[in-house]
A and B are shown apart, each in its own frame.
Chain A
Amino acid sequence: MDVVRGQEWKRPKPAPDALERPFFEAAARGELLYQRCPKCGHVQFYPRAVCTACGTDPEWATAAGRGSVHTYTVVRQNGMPPFKDELPYVVAMVELPEGVRMMGNVTGCSPDEVSVGTALEAYAVEFEPGLALPFWRPAR
């Protein structure tokens, strides 16, 4: 996925621990990670220290960076900065073909152009050098 660097970050900033950090480091390299259990094959997101199905240590896996809107909302009222200056904006649950869902903003289009099923591609935005968070836009 594309990586946007050098943008001022005004949003709540992730403060990952050692276990979570590889996700954000990978995003800064353009890779979208999720977790897969080496024992039972269960896939999950957000990253955890255990497989929620069988309790084993999960491993990282790389997603293709594509997905579709499972459900979404257009936020039209939010009193908190920086979001109040960005209204209206789309927050969606993105279904990945790999079997996990991720929350994210859908940008690069009018909110009216988003519906359940809209095909998306991920891109990453660096929030500090070497660490990035994924966002989504309509697939090209």
Chain B
Amino acid sequence: MAARDPVIVGIGLSDYPVAPHLSTAQHHAQAMQRALADCGLPKRAVDGFCCAGMGAGAAEAMLMAEYLGIDHRFVDGTMTGGSSFEFYVQHAAAALRQGLCETVLVTYGSNFLSARGRTLGTGGFGGRGAHVTGADMFQAPYGLSLVGAYAMVARRHMHQYGTKPEHLAEIAAGVREFAGLNPLAMYRDPITVQDVLASRMIADPLHKLDCCVVSDGGGAFVMTTAERARDLRQPAVRVLGAAGGQTHWNISQMPDFTRSAAAKNAPETFAQAGLGPADVDVIQFYDSFTITVLTLLEDCGFCAKGEGGPFVAEGHLRRGGRLPLNTDGGGLSSCHSGMRGIFLIIEAVRQLRGQAGAAQVPGAEVALCAGSGGFLSGIGTVLLGRG
């Protein structure tokens, strides 16, 4: 490793999945304290800050820098939805390489469940005011739910490639198996493909168990240079590659309902590392819905476009498979507090340090994180490697 190569040295989670005792700001604060304690760096060492959330909206990074007392030389509040944190890895890595700062703190926090209840996907989410403007005028009057937006992606994939509800259900069942190994996961009882198919239809063809949970939760991670990481408490995890992009923001504008921006940026991420899909040992993919995972799998090159269904049915994503998915129980079963992207990075770091306990993927050297924001809109891919 070169001296200024970017690494991740500290991780922390705030209390989840149900934490009525914490406000959004307290989630940020608790996660920060735990991430700093993890690596042993004092807060005053932080001179770069990246942050997104659903509280202050566009000004979340400014507000939280004030609340946490961060004196930053580099700040990034890019808002791409739940994938913002994958974009931060790209931006912070560049900033560290350039010498714009020495230590970057990334935080997220949300009391979504305690504050708003389980309405994330089926009401109360964007563009529902009495009056709507801009692109919302051509969407909101038709009553599309968040789940419904992803359902349209799933329907098109099924039509075009013969993907079956059973294929999507396999993703949910596999992630639940990992949730059973996480004592904090929101749902831990095993489920089968049949259980998913028998659960209530929310928006055809997506069933209740095709959808992520709604929870509270926050997270933080600390990035610095390889040189600075040498005398820290935890083994450094290397940032091998990171890229991002978007194909649309509103679901009505998705150019190809079966293809996300990862089709373009995952190859860039792999190219930065000189690696390919065959080199990946474990994946942490944004599982807002089962179809999100299927789309990202194909776009990241683990199988050809359209072959995600049969690929998943072979059991590769399961515990003991060749490409274990969401080893913390994912958004589907453990924790989804609105913007899940930070948890992908944190769980990948746990795996690459060999600290994932019962969910540890033996000998994990390379992890791919794929974050999705909006409606498969803003996609960031991050390749991490054991230090």
Contact = CB atoms under 8 A, between A and B. Distances in A.
Interface of A: 11-17, 20, 45-46, 70-80, 83-84, 86, 89, 91-93, 101-105, 111, 116, 127, 133
Nearest to A106: B142
A78 B202 CA distance: 9
Contact of A79 (B119, B133, B140, B253): B119
Nearest to A13: B131
B135 A91 contact: no
B204 A70 contact: no
B257 interface: yes
A81 B130 CA distance: 11
Contacts of A127: 141
Given A77-B145, A103-B144, A116-B159, A93 B201 contact: no
Contacts of A104: 142
Given A71-B155, A73-B152, A102-B138, A12 B132 contact: yes
A8 to B, nearest CB: 14
Contact of B141 (A79, A101, A133): A133
Contacts of A80: 123-124, 128, 143
B122 A79 contact: yes
Centre residue among A71, A72, A116, A133 by max chain B CB count within 10 A:
A71
26 contacts: A12-B131, A12-B136, A13-B132, A13-B141, A14-B133, A14-B141, A15-B137, A46-B253, A70-B156, A70-B257, A71-B257, A72-B155, A74-B203, A75-B145, A75-B148, A76-B202, A76-B204, A77-B202, A80-B124, A83-B123, A86-B143, A89-B143, A102-B252, A103-B138, A104-B142, A105-B143
Given A77-B203, A103-B252, A105-B142, A12 B155 contact: no
Kindly state the interface size class of chain B when it binds its partner: 35 or more
B357 interface: no
Contacts of B253: 46
Nearest to A92: B152
A79 B116 CA distance: 13
B11 interface: no
A46 B252 contact: yes
B129 interface: yes
Interface string B203-226: 111100000000000000000000
B277 interface: no
A100 to B, nearest CB: 10
B132 A79 contact: no
B152 A12 contact: no
B143 A75 contact: yes
B139 interface: yes
Given A46-B135, A79-B123, A12 B130 contact: yes
